Amino acid sequence: MARVTVLGCGHGAHAVAGFLALKGNKVTIVGADPVDTDRVSAIRKRGGVELEGVVKGFGRVEEATLSVETGVRDRKYVFIVAPAFAHEYFLPKLANVLDASQRIVIIPDNWGSLRLLKMLKEMRKSPPVLIGGTASLPYACRLSGPARVNVFGVKDSGTVPLAAIPSLKTHELVSELKEIFYEFTGAKNILEVVLNNINFPVHPVVTLLNLGRAEYTKGDFDFYGEGVTPSVAKIMEVVDTERRAVGRMLGLELPSLYELVSSMYKSSGLKGKDLYELLSTSPVHTRTKGPGDLHHRYVAEDVPYGLVPIASLCEHLGVSCPTIKAIIHLYSVALGRDLMTEGVNVEKLGWEKAGREEIIETIEKGFSQE
């Protein structure tokens, strides 16, 4: 088994660290200093992470720390499992301590692999490391106490897209990881991965259209069971159509949101003739509480790190996406900030002067591109 490090200390990081430890891997978990001090202390005190729900067990970790440098030393695999806004903390620290033997996998990617690639190129980091990213977490989960995570569902085998940079290394990376992550399957490239994240077409739409209720109840409502109605689902479907349109411009035939969600959780009992029925009756997702304010990751992550890069790419490549732009605009008004400027746009990816072919070449060649 492998020596691995998990960067992050939230819901997903607890689940990934716990699962990997249960499978016999030697796991280090690294939190952000100082926001994760209490969570790291709790894991260190208990000696690991307790999993409950559809998977039960205690995953004993080797180390829990707030030091990225200490945590990634001599680890072949480094998994970044954190909200995209936490990438701002982890990526620069990670870039300074990597060596060529390591594999970095961002779960979910949320454009982090491309940002790390740009960072490493600017640092002229050589020899390069292998970077990969996934479209989503393998698990639906929530923290249920100190050093404890409740896993509601596990995605089916081979349903979570993963790609490497450069793309020709994807098969190699998936093969290496298959013993510890049976959920992963190779994608065409990292753009297919980031555009297939199921959170972006769902969370911001449902939150926006339930914003009064979210703020009034402080999130005390069933986000999917009550928040997803037929009209809300129709707007999600239009957002999804716009997501797939930019994919086609980049040479990708992306599955629909309905196809993605139903395939990932088929064995968990998800069913329905359309997106409304699928999400509003989901045994995995219903009874999940909604966000209580605009600082929740459904907004703070999924708009600037999800919808904004899609809208920016659409604008850059001449693809129409009026619904996505309208949603970003309304959130910008509500927050009093320009999310199109703040979020991950083509300028922050280094693509402001790049055409379609050059963008594709970047992800196909990675470091080998001159």
190: tokens are: 């990292």
CB count within 10 Å of CB 38 equals 12
Can you give the pLDDT at residue 126? Answer: 59
Could you read off the pLDDT of 173-209 as tens digits, one per residue? Answer: 999 998 888 899 999 999 999 999 999 999 999 999 9
pLDDT-derived band at 328 (thresholds 50, 70, 90) equals: very high
Q: Over 80: is that where the pLDDT of 318 sits?
A: yes
3-state DSSP assignment of residue 269: coil
> Would you kindly state where each structural domain of the chain is located, as residue ranges?
3-195, 203-368
pTM of the complete model: 0.92
Distance, in Å, from the CA atom of 203 to the CA atom of 20, rounded to the nearest integer, reads 28
Work out whether the CA dihedral 50, 56, 58, 63 comes out positive or negative. negative
DSSP 86: G
Can you give the pLDDT at residue 370? Answer: 44
What single-letter amino acid sits at 125?
A: K
Compute the average pLDDT of residues 26-51.
97
Distance, in Å, from the CA atom of 190 to the CA atom of 325, rounded to the nearest integer, reads 23
* Candidate CATH numbers 3.30.365.10, 1.20.1070.10, 1.10.1040.10, 3.90.1150.10; the one for domain 203-368: 1.10.1040.10
DSSP 307: I
Residue 138: asked if its preceding bond is cis (omega within 30°), the reply is: no
User: Percentage of the chain with pLDDT > 70?
Assistant: 98
Could you read off the pLDDT of 117-151 as tens digits, one per residue? Answer: 989 888 876 567 899 999 999 999 999 999 999 99
CB count within 10 Å of CB 244 equals 18
Just give the CATH number of 3-195.
3.40.50.720
Could you read off the pLDDT of 202-255 as tens digits, one per residue? Answer: 999 999 999 999 999 999 999 999 999 999 999 999 999 999 999 999 999 999
pLDDT-derived band at 84 (thresholds 50, 70, 90) equals: very high
Compute the average pLDDT of residues 64-71.
97
End-to-end, the C-alpha distance of the chain in Å comes to 37
Give buried/exposed letters for 205-214 (b at 16+ CB in 10 A, else e). Answer: bbbbbbbeeb
